[in-house]
Amino acid sequence: MQLVPVNKSLSREKLKKVAKEVEQEKERRYFRDENKGLQAQLRDTAEAVQAAGELVVRLKKAEEAVAAAENRAIVAEGEAERAYMERDRLVRLLAADTRTLNEGFAAGEGIHVDDGNQQWREEFAPSYGIEEDPSSWFAGYDRCNIYIQIFSWFVAF
Which residues, other chains included, contact 143 with Cβ-Cβ below 8 Å and sequence gap of 6+?
105
In a domain, residue 80? The reply is yes
State which amino acid sits at residue 91. Answer: V
In a domain, residue 59? The reply is yes
Picking from 95, 102, 101, the residue whose alpha carbon sits closest to that of residue 157 is 95
Give the confidence band of 2 by pLDDT, cuts at 50, 70, 90.
very low
Domain span including residue 16: 3-88
In a domain, residue 28? The reply is yes
Q: What is the pTM of this model?
A: 0.41
In a domain, residue 107? The reply is no
Question: Into how many domains does the chain fold?
Answer: 1
Alpha carbons within 13 A on the beta-carbon side of 135: 0
Q: What is the pLDDT of residues 91-140, one digit of tens each?
A: 999 998 888 888 877 776 555 555 555 665 566 555 555 454 555 555 55
In angstroms, the first-to-last Cα distance of the chain is 129
